[in-house]
Amino acid sequence: QVQLGESGGGLVQAGGSLRLSCAASSSGRPFRHYHVGWFRQAPGKEREFVAAITRDGAGKYYADSVKGRFTLSRSNPENMVYLQMNNLKPEDTAVYYCAATTVVISSLADLTRYHYWGQGTQVTVAS
């Protein structure tokens, strides 16, 4: 069982930056066994893939819409994953969720393959 909690959201002007954090606690497998993904959901839209990082931090995958602006990192000893978001745009406005999974890397963009989810953090980008 893994519990996840996001923080770092807020209101920022277009072109600004935010760093989201995902804190994990695990009562079963150690956190380092899990890949972690970030997803977002804007009002009236479906939840979509943003980025994912493999369990060892070596593999990082990004949606085309955020590539070059968002950067993932993780610290397994601290049970933390970070999403650095730069050059934010109004279309980045959404609730951002982190999620954990043990599925194969090729499925990391598929939200249905994630076992555990955080409660989400709101990111609002003003134009």
Residue (of 12, 15, 62) closest to 37 by Cα position: 62
Give residue 63's pLDDT. 98
* pLDDT above 90 coverage of the chain, percent: 94
Give residue 104's pLDDT. 87
Q: What is the rounded average pLDDT of the residues 23-38?
A: 95
Q: For 33-79, how does the pLDDT look when each residue is reduced to its tens digit (9 = 90+)?
A: 999 999 999 999 999 999 999 999 999 999 999 999 999 999 999 99
Give residue 105's pLDDT. 85
CA dihedral for 53, 110, 118, 44, sign (positive or negative): positive
